[in-house]
Amino acid sequence: MAYYMTASLNITDPSWIESYGPAVHALVEQHGGGRYIAQSTEVTVVEGDGPAPSLTVIIEFPDQAAAEAWYNDDAYKPWMEARQAGSTGTALMFEGV
């Protein structure tokens, strides 16, 4: 069953973004992901009180094990730390239908 990772971020320091994209895309592919359902800076809030994030991403993995293997990969850790240092927001993983 497909498994998804989504992140809605507010960028506080964009210095990490340029190098993050290519490196993380390669790691996602190594773990069987790579189908980016959405990746956009054009986000509109249609419900809720909070502001729109400055970036939203949805990635599809073949299953939960692949998604978790990517997220927990030691090679991803420095990229995660860079993202966390330069943004705030929420990252979620969940099963598809």
CATH of the domain at 64: 3.30.70.100
pLDDT in tens, 43-96: 999 999 989 999 999 999 999 999 999 999 999 999 999 999 999 999 999 999
pTM value is 0.89
Which residues form the domain of 80? 3-95
Residues contacting 51, CB < 8 A, separation 6+:
10, 45
Q: What confidence score (pLDDT) does residue 65 get?
A: 95
- What tokens does 12 get? 């506080």
pLDDT reported for residue 35: 87
Digit-coded pLDDT (tens) for 1-25: 999 999 999 999 999 999 999 999 9
SS3 15: helix
Domain count, the chain: 1
